Amino acid sequence: MHFIDVIIPIPLQKLFTYSITAAEANFLKVGMRVAVPFGKSKIYTGVVFNIHENAPAAYEAKDIEQILDESPVVNEYQLKLWHWISEYYMCTMGDVMRAALPSAFILESETVITKNNVNTIDESILKDDEFLVYEALHHQSSLKIHDIASILDKKNVLPVIKRLIEKEAITVEEEVYEKYKPKLVRYVKLDPHYTAEVELHKLLDDLSRAPKQRDVVMTLFSISAKTKKPVKVSDLTTESGASSSIIKSLINKGVLKEYYIQRDRVEYSGEETEASKRLNEYQQAALTEIKASFEKHHVTLLHGVTSSGKTEVYVKLIEDVIQQGKQVLYLLPEIALTTQLVTRLQNYFGEQVAVFHSKYSTHERVEVWNNVLHNSAKAKIILGARSSIFLPFDNLGLIIVDEEHEQSFKQFDPAPRYHARDTAVVLAHMHKAKTLLGSATPSLESYFNAQQDKYGFVEITKRYNDVLMPDIELVDIKDKLKRKRMKGHFSDRLIEEMQETLSEGHQVILFQNRRGFSPIVECNTCGHSPQCPNCDVSLTYHQYRNQLRCHYCGYNSAMKQNCEACGGQDLDSKGFGTEQIEGEVKLLFPEHKVARMDLDTTRGKYGYEKIITALEQQEIDILVGTQMLTKGLDFRNVKLVGIMNADNMLNFPDFRAHERSFQLMQQVSGRAGRTEERGKVLIQTYNPYHNILQQVSTNNYIDMFKEQMDDRYNFKYPPVYKQIKITLKHKDYNKVETASIWYAKSLRQVFKDYVLGPESPPVARIRNQFHKNILVKIPKQQSLAKTKEAIMKINNSFMSVKDFRSVRVVLNVDNF
């Protein structure tokens, strides 16, 4: 008897075992996909995890439906990594599979429901919910389970469907289908028969009575002579002006042969590649030190100030690694994945660079996946965001994690809640490859690891070309207000500096840490501010659409004319966002071009690129933006950066708020004066004596690090302690409260004082679910594996309490 353990893309604690025939056992390999039955009528795509001869003890193994691949689509490194992720981040292999595979690889058992047209039924026998579904089928020929779930606004719709089937109102069909279709391009060539000169002459003679067809053949010759490449049908029709029916008749006659080539969507259009740059002495020293460090450490941290030329150092390392025939993964936060960097790397490495991006279509992702899987020359260097750690590398030589401090490397929702930087280190280790972490403002975690000699450490302290670090000035807005030196949110100093910069023909960037026009609308009569009906937050005012929006669930409504509570008409806006700053700038500098970059203006695949290009082309004089501005962008002509308000980031209720503020401000400052002229940064604040601001203005990373680490020691925070956050969610507040008290009490029996909570988070209700948080702190000497085991045990007993079964529990290891 032969069996396989299969990973199925649903959150099951254990792998499921299926039985296979001897022939199947012979053919199947670990990492191939199989279609398997699950539950009563479901069919899932699973990935074979192992093949063995041990029947499961607890149940009788079912047969698989069919084998879906001829060779593995997932390799053994990946399966090992999936396993590690599921253990470390406390989630199931199915969760990891969902995140790891392009969705086109997960064939879905989509239950399709159609109306039963064979006999008409008496509608009066249908209950309300049944009627709703039946009614919907009058407008749509078929519905899927999730359509029905949204029509009825509930999850478990199977009973309704079952009843409808029994009443013969509907029929159900199960179908598994392949979603991914490679894009094929149609080509034509002359039938080989005509390569002989005699035949060709004969053909042209024959065609003299069909001049249009003759034209087509002649055009085909001239295109292929010119390009020396296969000729696309589309090119042939444009160049010859012939209709497709003429080409068709040539094909029918056997003069032309048509064929198809699979075209990569993720295409590189450039031509020549250029040599990489000569490093200056600091870069060269760093490169030598990194190589030496790799002799001793798997991981090395490169701390290089902004514009020190880290990218060029990476390029040299990449050259070495691909020379050895190995693959390179270049990880970046999503937002920093700009055309700027892609172009830069493609100039050096041509089509060996492949990009993996969440804004790419699933088809494009599948192509990159296959290129990596087959170790194709087209994917030697993968430039990608978080999820590219899941690609099927089989010969990785180096991983670069650029901007390693970025919090967006951690996936927040759904599971697996993995940190791509930390996972990259594990992945590299599996391949016996090296990891280079790079940043101008390293995370405390990585810097701490370097200090402990767990990671190697290399520094570049000078900007490329000896450009000076920007001059940073703190502006006390409390004082400015008192002395009436503010216009709106602009101090006289900021206005002066802007005027000077603009008059010299340079550009300005203004940073504001909030999206929207003015986060909160408040009634001046009664103090009420409009709240989201689903979440415990105030709605944010967006001037552009004259809307109130919830940033947690997306709820929106038109801006109110009157206060909902007292009916008063005096509604005021508190706080300020990018939109309001943009409005004020336009009034202050009407003769200059102003643009805004935030989540609202950068939707769509190229939304972000358009703004960056406009800034590069100097079509924009002043750019107002959020965090998006901070990410590794290289603008030649920006000389002044204004930070509108440093206080709201510093006061954010999170233990990383100070570290993050430092990083953010240093990174935004880094956008100023990247060429010969020294840049200027103005930071407006109510509290210029705040330590972080002093450290930012003197570029003092070390002082920031030491002071923050003291806090982390004292308050038992990472990186000194590890922590796991447990969030319980339910729509009934009392239930989630009772449940969380039970959970925390059980944890305390094991972990004593190292358990904090339960506590309601600042936003206690999101999408109609009340949240409670519990935090488990784990001292360095305590075994992480044992800790998790104990938590899982408690979690399992929790789940077996009937009353708590409907409470959702989210485990977040190394939470951010």
* Residues in the annotated binding site for Zn(2+): 523, 526, 532, 535, 550, 553, 563, 566
- Of residues 241 and 554, the one with the C-beta less far from Zn ion: 554
Shortest reach from residue 765's CB to Zn ion, in Å: 9
Q: d(Cα 224, Cα 218) in Å, to the nearest integer?
A: 10
300 binds, among Zn ion, ligand ADP, none (CB under 5 to 8 A by kind): none
283 binds, among Zn ion, ligand ADP, none (CB under 5 to 8 A by kind): ligand ADP
Cα–Cα distances (Å) from 331 to 266, 404, 411, 422, 814, in that order, read: 18, 9, 14, 12, 20
Query: Helices 76-88 & 93-100, crossing angle to 10 degrees?
Result: 120
Neighbours of 599 (CB within 10 A): 15
Q: d(Cα 579, Cα 543) in Å, to the nearest integer?
A: 7
Q: Which two tokens stand for residue 125?
A: 């026998």
- Of residues 130 and 634, the one with the C-beta less far from ligand ADP: 634
553 binds, among Zn ion, ligand ADP, none (CB under 5 to 8 A by kind): Zn ion
Q: d(Cα 83, Cα 78) in Å, to the nearest integer?
A: 8
634 binds, among ligand ADP, Zn ion, none (CB under 5 to 8 A by kind): ligand ADP
The verdict on 312 binding ligand ADP (CB under 6 A) reads yes
> What DSSP string describes 261-285?
EE--SS--------PPPPP-HHHHH
Query: Segment near ligand ADP (CB under 6 A), from 304-312, 570-578, 596-604, 743-751?
Result: 304-312
Q: Which secondary structure element, helix H or strand E, spans residue 811, and what is its range?
A: strand 808-813
280 binds, among ligand ADP, Zn ion, none (CB under 5 to 8 A by kind): ligand ADP
5 binds, among ligand ADP, Zn ion, none (CB under 5 to 8 A by kind): none
Query: Segment near ligand ADP (CB under 6 A), from 79-87, 130-138, 300-308, 712-720?
Result: 300-308
- Of residues 531 and 738, the one with the C-beta less far from Zn ion: 531
> Would you give the binding string for ligand ADP spanning residues 611-640, x where CB under 6 A is met?
-----------------------x------
Shortest reach from residue 466's CB to ligand ADP, in Å: 11
Return left, alpha or beta for 31; rule: phi > 0 is left, psi -120 to 50 is alpha, else beta: left
511 binds, among ligand ADP, Zn ion, none (CB under 5 to 8 A by kind): none
In this chain, which of 237, 531, 534, 697 binds Zn ion, going by CB under 5 A?
Answer: 534
φ, ψ of residue 276 to 5 degrees: the values are -75, 165
Q: Are strands 2-7 and 16-20 parallel, antiparallel or unpaired?
A: antiparallel
Query: Segment near ligand ADP (CB under 6 A), from 150-158, 308-316, 381-389, 651-659?
Result: 308-316
Any residues with CB less than 8 A from the CB of 429 and at least 6 apart, and which? 298
- Of residues 673 and 718, the one with the C-beta less far from ligand ADP: 673
Query: Segment near ligand ADP (CB under 6 A), from 101-109, 188-196, 303-311, 783-791?
Result: 303-311
- Of residues 506 and 765, the one with the C-beta less far from Zn ion: 765
Q: Which secondary structure element, helix H or strand E, spans residue 715, and what is its range?
A: none
Shortest reach from residue 267's CB to ligand ADP, in Å: 25
The verdict on 363 binding ligand ADP (CB under 6 A) reads no
b/e string for 430-465 if b means 16 or more Cβ within 10 A? ebebbbbbbbbbbbbbbbbbbeeeebbbbbbebbbe
> What DSSP string describes 655-713?
TTHHHHHHHHHHHHHTTS--SSSPPEEEEEES-TT-HHHHHHHTT-HHHHHHHHHHHHH
Q: d(Cα 660, Cα 670) in Å, to the nearest integer?
A: 15
- Of residues 217 and 535, the one with the C-beta less far from Zn ion: 535
534 binds, among Zn ion, ligand ADP, none (CB under 5 to 8 A by kind): Zn ion
Query: Helices 310-323 & 281-296, crossing angle to 10 degrees?
Result: 50
Shortest reach from residue 319's CB to ligand ADP, in Å: 14
532 binds, among Zn ion, ligand ADP, none (CB under 5 to 8 A by kind): Zn ion
For 125-186, the three-class secondary structure string (H helix, E strand, C coil) is HCCHHHHHHHHHHHHCCEEEHHHHHHHHCCCCCHHHHHHHHHCCCEEEEEEEECCCCCCEEE
* Window 212 to 251, contacts with Zn ion (CB under 5 A): none
The verdict on 417 binding ligand ADP (CB under 6 A) reads no
* Window 552 to 581, contacts with Zn ion (CB under 5 A): 552-553, 555
* Window 246 to 285, contacts with ligand ADP (CB under 6 A): 277-280, 283
Any residues with CB less than 8 A from the CB of 129 and at least 6 apart, and which? 152, 160
In this chain, which of 93, 532, 611, 615 binds Zn ion, going by CB under 5 A?
Answer: 532
Residue 108 sits at the vertex; the CA angle it makes with 107 and 113, to the nearest 5 degrees, is 145
809 binds, among Zn ion, ligand ADP, none (CB under 5 to 8 A by kind): none
- Of residues 300 and 307, the one with the C-beta less far from ligand ADP: 307
Shortest reach from residue 421's CB to ligand ADP, in Å: 17
Query: Segment near ligand ADP (CB under 6 A), from 58-66, 198-206, 216-224, 307-315?
Result: 307-315
Neighbours of 275 (CB within 10 A): 8
Contact 509, 671 (CB under 8 A): yes
* Window 433 to 472, contacts with ligand ADP (CB under 6 A): 464
278 binds, among Zn ion, ligand ADP, none (CB under 5 to 8 A by kind): ligand ADP
Shortest reach from residue 564's CB to Zn ion, in Å: 16
- Of residues 390 and 701, the one with the C-beta less far from ligand ADP: 701
Q: d(Cα 659, Cα 650) in Å, to the nearest integer?
A: 9
The verdict on 547 binding Zn ion (CB under 5 A) reads no
The verdict on 304 binding ligand ADP (CB under 6 A) reads yes
* Window 703 to 762, contacts with ligand ADP (CB under 6 A): none
Q: Which two tokens stand for residue 685?
A: 């604040």
Shortest reach from residue 550's CB to Zn ion, in Å: 3
* Window 763 to 782, contacts with ligand ADP (CB under 6 A): none
Q: 710: closest CA among 651, 650, 658, 784?
A: 658
Please state the length of the chain.
Answer: 816
For Zn ion, the binding residues (CB under 5 A) are 532, 534-535, 550, 552-553, 555
For ligand ADP, the binding residues (CB under 6 A) are 277-280, 283, 304, 306-312, 464, 634
